[in-house]
Amino acid sequence: MNGDGHRDLWTVDAAGRLQFRAGKADGTFAAPVDGGVDVAAGAQVLASGDWTGDGYNDLVVLEYNDVTRTKLLWAYENGGLGKVSEAGRFQLSVSCPVKDPDQGCETGDDHWYNADQIAAAGDVDGDGGPDLLVKQGTELWLYYGGFPYLDNTAPVLVGGAGWDSVTVVAPGDVNGDGAADLWLREDATGDLFSVMGAKGSDGKLAPAGWGSARTKTASGVTRADYPVLGASGDLSGDGVTDLWAVAADGRTVLFRGTANGIDTTPVVLG
């Protein structure tokens, strides 16, 4: 997020203030510094690709809005220091927010209005823009990033069953086949699974493949102990994508990726 080539993190402290942690590419981070904004209780934050075209990853926040009584998506521009501001934010929206046949909307496309989780999917269609995953109850939806609306290309239902029991992490292409993969955490048991992405006949990711066979890679990372999970690439400098988490006591920890899966020995980041 600051242009030095190392993977960084945004987290939120106990007071709800955004914190920026600059990575050192060895599994350690510089001391957290102020990220520029307060985050509402219960909101989700993630680094979600470059929404503004300036070459830096921007911040996306899913938060509840008291006026609309729904959850809204906001993108915050990161100017290159990992710090954002209210003045530099804009709403991510759809042209068809609700089902309204009179307006040409056969389905409502804002599946985040009551979503449980969002995840940064990277650029799965190769158009240069960031894409998003939204977990809404038992369903998982893929949105192809675009302007001015996220439904310029219709969102894709990845799967309509079983997603309510897992946390979704999008680590990118971990097996080097050119298709984005997923990591899933079974919330109750803490078991971790990998789901390999696959390409369709057009050479692009076929999202339906994410609903296929899951391979168990680790265990012991329950939602009760680690409410928040994420992936930001290789944080330790060994060439393998790592998993990070925020523990129930507020600590941010690193779980190192290995050739055989995830080492669930937590390394405290602070």
**Can you list the residues of the chain whose pLDDT is less than 50?**
none
Interior angle at CA 16, CA 12 and CA 21, nearest 5 = 25
Torsion of CA 135, 136, 142, 147, to 10 degrees: -110
pLDDT of 270: 62
pLDDT of 205: 87
pLDDT of 248: 93
List, for residues 108-154, the tens digit of each pLDDT value.
899 999 999 999 998 888 888 899 999 999 999 999 988 889 999 99
List, for residues 163-186, the tens digit of each pLDDT value.
999 999 999 999 888 889 999 999
- pTM, 2 dp: 0.93
